[in-house]
Amino acid sequence: MPTLPVQPISVAVPADADARSHVLGMAVPELRALLAQAGADQTYRVDQCLDWLYAKRVESFDQMLNFPRGVRERLAELAVVYRGNIVRESASSDGTKKLLIGWPDGGSVETVWIPDGERHTACVSSQVGCPVGCRFCASGINGVQRNLTTGEIVEQAQLIRRLIGSRGRLSNIVFMGMGEPLANYENVLAAIRILNAPWGLGIGARKFTVSTVGLPKQIRRLAEEDLQLNLALSLHAPDDELRRELIPWDVPIDELLDSCRYYFDRTGREVTFEYVLLHEVNDRPRHADRLAALARRLRANVNLLRYNPVEGLPFQRPTAESAYRFQERLRERGVNSHLRTSRGSDIAAACGQLRRSTTVAAPISPAVAAPISPAVAADPPATDQPG
C-alpha cells in the first residue's frame, strides 16, 4: 500500500443551496450577533435562546414562544436549528442505537448512542468519510468528502439526547465515529467547547474522548488547549512495518509516542491505546509483547476490541478465547487493558458500515480487498507462552 502524507487535508464545508447559518454551531458572540440581526438585541435574549436550544431542545425558532413573532420569523430566515435528517435508525438487541444522518448536500454520517446503566455515550463523527483509509475500516473506503461543521457535530449530540429522552442525560462523548477528528481540528474543538459549556450541554471535559490515528502536531496543540480531554491513540499495530500496512498515514510510532507523552505531561491525563484485534494479523503473542513494551513506556492503558468484519475486506474477527489470551499476556507484562464488548454487533456496528449498506457505495478496489503483505503477517506458530 502506498503511504500518504500526514498533513491534515483541507476539505470544503457543505455547498448546499441553503445558505442560512446553523445555530447549533454558534458560540455566544455569534448567537448575540444573530439575535441582534433579527431585532432581538437585548442581553437577556441570548440566555433565553440558549435555554430553548439546549435545555428545552426545541427544533425550530417558531417554538421559542417568549420571542415576538416577528423575531422568530426573521431568525428562521437567517438560520436553522437542525440541518440533518435521519435517513435510517437501527436498534441493536443490546440497546445500542445507530443513526445515519443525511445532510442537505448529500453527505451522510453515522452517530451511535451507547447506553450503559447511568452512562449514556454518544459516538460522533467528525468528517463525511475519512481521509485516513485504514485497511480494516468501512468509513475510509471511499476517502473523505468533507469536514463536518461545528454545528453538524453538536447536532449529532442533540439527536442522541432526543433518543435518550427521559431515560437519563447524555454523559459522555467519544470522537470515534467516521473521520479523523484531529484533521478537522478547529470545528471539533469549537463543538467540544459548546458541548462542554454550562450554557450548552454542560458535559465535563473529562467525559470527552478524542480518538486519533495520530497527528503529532495536532496532539501537541490539543495538549495546550487547557482542556482535560481524554486522548485515545488508535495504534492497532505495535511496530511501524505492520502499522504502515494497516494505516496508510505513515507516522513513526516513536514520534506518536513522543507527542502522547507531551499530552500526558501537559494535561496529566493518561493516554489510552486503542487496538482492534485482527485475526492472525496483529493478535499474536509477539504483537502482545511489543504492545506491552510501548504501553509501559507511556504508562498507557490498552483498550482491546475484537474486529467487526466488513464485507469485502480481508480481515477476520479473532475468537473470544484468543482475545482473552492476548489480554492476559498484556496483563502478565504489567499492562492494564480492557477487552471492550462489541456493542451493536447486529446493526453493522463497525464504523461506516451502516452508511455503506444504505448509500450507493463505490466498489472496493482490488488493492484494498487484497490481504496484507505476507512478509508482514508471517509469524512463527504462536506458543502463547510468555516470552
- Strand partners of residue 208: 173
* 351 in active site: yes
Selected catalytic residue, list 49, 123, 260, 351: 351
Least distance (Å) from ligand SF4 to the CB of residue 96?
A: 18
Orientation of helix 285-298 relative to helix 320-332, angle to 10°: 40
Q: Which member of 140, 181, 285, 318 binds ligand SF4 (CB under 6 A)?
A: 140
Which one, 294 or 313, has the nearer CB to ligand SF4? 313
Q: Residue 351, interface with ligand SF4 (CB under 6 A)? A: yes
Which residue, 50 or 232, has its beta carbon nearer to ligand SF4? 232
Could you report how far apart the first and last alpha carbons of the chain are, in Å? 31
User: Which parts of 150-169 interact with ligand SF4 (CB under 6 A)?
Assistant: none
Which residues fall within 8 angstroms of residue 265, CB to CB, at 6 or more apart? 223
132 and 249 Cβ atoms separated by less than 8 Å: yes
Binding residue for ligand SF4, selected from 49, 132, 191, 222, defined by CB under 6 A: 132
CB of 300 to ligand SF4, least distance (A): 18
CB of 228 to ligand SF4, least distance (A): 23
Q: Is 137 in the site for ligand SF4 (CB under 6 A)?
A: yes
- How big is the site for ligand SF4, counted in residues (CB under 6 A)? 12
Least CB distance to ligand SF4 at residue 177 (A): 7
Q: Does 134 bind ligand SF4 (CB under 6 A)?
A: yes
Dist CA 72 CA 367 (whole Å): 53
Binding to ligand SF4 by residue 281, rule CB under 6 A?
no
110, 152, 155, 274: the catalytic one is: 110
CA distance 329 to 318: 16
With respect to ligand SF4, which residue has the nearer C-beta, 263 or 315? 315
- Return the DSSP state at 29: H
Task: Tell me which of 81, 99, 128, 178 binds ligand SF4, using CB under 6 A.
Answer: 178
Task: Name all contacts of 55-60 with Cβ < 8 Å and 24+ positions apart.
Answer: 57/158, 57/161, 57/162
Q: Of 11 and 75, which CB lies nearer to ligand SF4 in the complex structure?
A: 11
Cell triple for 95? 440497546
- Asked whether the beta carbons of 231 and 272 are under 8 A apart, the reply is yes
- Please name the residues in contact with 286: beta carbons below 8 A apart, sequence gap of 6 or more: 379, 387
Task: Based on the shown chain and the rule CB under 6 A, indicate whether residue 191 belongs to the binding site for ligand SF4.
Answer: no
Stated as kind and residue range, the H or E segment containing 86 is: strand 85-91
Retrieve residue 33's grid coordinates: 450577533
Sequence-ordered list of residues with C-beta below 8 angstroms from that of 299, at least 6 positions apart, any chain: 264, 270
Q: List 241's β-bridge partners, or say none.
A: none
Closest CB to ligand SF4 among 132 and 222?
Answer: 132
Nearest-approach distance from CB 345 to ligand SF4, in angstroms? 17
Query: Could you tell me the smallest distance in angstroms from the CB atom of residue 353 to ligand SF4?
Result: 11
**Measured from the CB of residue 364, what is the shortest distance to ligand SF4 in angstroms?**
13
Stretch of 125-133, 185-193, 332-340, 357-365 lying at the interface with ligand SF4 (CB under 6 A): 125-133
Confirm if 260 and 244 have CB atoms less than 8 A apart.
no
**Distance of alpha carbon 355 from alpha carbon 359, whole angstroms:** 6
Name which of residues 208 to 267 contact ligand SF4 (CB under 6 A): 213
Stretch near ligand SF4 under the rule CB under 6 A, chosen from 25-33, 83-91, 136-144, 340-348: 136-144
Three cell numbers at 177?
465515529
Q: How far is the CB of 129 from ligand SF4 (least distance, A)?
A: 8
Cβ pair 110, 84 in contact under 8 A? no
Residues β-bridged to residue 3: none
Q: Which residues share a beta bridge with 108? A: 102
Locate the DSSP E strands across 309-372. 337-340
Interface region with ligand SF4, contact rule CB under 6 A, candidates 175-183, 196-204, 330-338, 377-385? 175-183
Determine if 110 is a binding residue for ligand SF4 (CB under 6 A).
Answer: no
Which among 26-34, 164-172, 178-186, 339-347 is the span making contact with ligand SF4, rule CB under 6 A?
Answer: 178-186
C-alpha cell at 114: 451507547
In degrees, rounded to 5, the angle at the alpha carbon of residue 73 between the alpha carbons of residues 67 and 75 is: 80
By annotation, the residues acting in catalysis are 110, 351
Binding site for ligand SF4 (CB under 6 A): 130, 132-134, 137, 139-140, 178-180, 213, 351
